[in-house]
Amino acid sequence: MNVGDCVRLAGSGGIEKSSCGGTGATYKVVEKAPANSPCPSDADHTYNDTLQGAAQAALCMDIDWVVGGCMELIPGSPKRLDCAAHGTPNGVRVVEIKQGTVDVNSCAASDSGIVYGQRHFIVCVARL
């Protein structure tokens, strides 16, 4: 996997490449770190890529956020939602993504924001 690739978690504990923004994609690779190295503290998920049992790299991933798209934010297992699914527990619509800020008050058209403090950006969301 490369930076920018989108993936879905496979049932066997692995990952599979998926089309970004597609129904199967849940995470996007945002950084590759050397084997057993830490990812940014605000990354949503870390996957240690192995080859024949030996660690090759750490894939640092964020949720595959798509402006206008909806996600159910289940810890460790987010999934894409149909935006018509009102009343879904933990369901959100992505209103905008703001770079260079950690101030959730800058999310004017939404009711909350998800802060990525180390990398200085916010995903502004509205609850479904």
- How do the domains of the chain map onto residue ranges? 6-63, 70-127
13 sits in the region (left: phi over 0; alpha: psi -120 to 50; else beta) called left
Contacts of 91 (CB under 8 A, 6+ apart): 70, 71, 72, 73, 81, 85, 127, 128
Element (H, E) at 57: strand 54-63
pLDDT exceeds 80 at position 32: yes
Strand-pair partners of 63:
27
3-class DSSP state of 87: coil
pLDDT for the residue numbered 120: 95
Tell me the DSSP string of 9-25. Answer: E-TTS-EEEE-TTSTT-
Q: What is the pTM of this model?
A: 0.88
Each residue's pLDDT tens digit, 47-98: 887 776 777 788 999 999 999 999 999 888 899 999 987 778 899 999 999 9
pLDDT of residue 38 exceeding 80, the answer is yes
According to the model, what pLDDT value does residue 30 have?
A: 96
Work out the mean pLDDT of the chain and round it to a whole number: 89
Q: Is the pLDDT of residue 121 over 90?
A: yes
pLDDT of residue 113: 92
pLDDT of 14 over the 90 cut = no
List strands edge to edge, sheet with 54-63: 15-18, 6-9, 27-34, 54-63, 45-51
Hey, what amino acid is at 7?
Answer: V
